[in-house]
Amino acid sequence: MTSPTDNTALCVVLSGDALNRDENYTWVDVVTKDNSYFHPLGTSGWPSTPPNYVAFRKDGQL
């Protein structure tokens, strides 16, 4: 578990590229339409514990 006083934020760039399961469904849709987000833990540079804060960047805007 992440310390409640840890103010580290994970900044994720949302891609407009289509996901494999549907040509009309993108990572932007995961956040904006489904109100959710997920990432692998501890692999390929991802943090091993979930951060307290996640920031999203889309089209150069935070």
C-alpha atoms less than 13 angstroms from C-alpha of 33 in its C-beta half-sphere? 7
Q: Residue 25 is which amino acid?
A: Y
DSSP 19-53: ETTEEEEEHHHHHHTT------SSSTT--SS--SE
Q: Give pLDDT, residue 27.
A: 87
Give residue limits of the domains in the chain: 9-57
| Tens-level pLDDT at each residue, the chain (62 residues) | 667 778 888 898 998 888 876 678 898 998 999 999 887 888 888 888 888 888 999 998 98
